Amino acid sequence: MTERTWACPMRSSITGHIRRQSDVLAWPHRCAVLALACGLDPIAVREVELIAAELASNTLRHGGGGEVHAAYSEQPARCIELTATDDGPGFDDIEHALMDGVSRGRRVEELAIARGEGLGAGLGAIGRLADELFVSNKLDGGAVVIARKYLP
């Protein structure tokens, strides 16, 4: 059996600022290009793209914008790590926020979805697509979400 060697490009991290919808739309493709260059298979690349889309969308919708970062890492193992930070209100109840059907801390049935409040599936979807998910509030306000997708 031939052992495969993974070689990520010299520029193995990217950063973006999410301030408007066009930033949300551009970010997933940039992450997919990085994931492909680092050796993820096409299905995992698509999962990274979906994770990036949800992170960027949530950063704008719930945090009013913020920063996103994607990087190849070898710690704790080879992975693509996607991070989103914002200065919004953060999470009242992180465990509750990870449940499907919850948006802004409330069940979506309580929200006017027609007003663009969302379906409440973003963090849950990220949790299902990522190999690891870390969600926390920043001490000075806002949130940090980190998702990892491991390379084979």
H or E element that contains 48: helix 42-63
pTM, whole model, 2 decimals? 0.79
Q: What would the pLDDT profile of 6-60 be if each residue is shown by its tens digit?
A: 556 545 899 999 999 999 999 999 999 999 998 899 999 999 999 999 999 999 9
CATH number, span 14-150: 3.30.565.10
Higher pLDDT, 70 or 107: 70
Domain ranges of the chain: 14-150
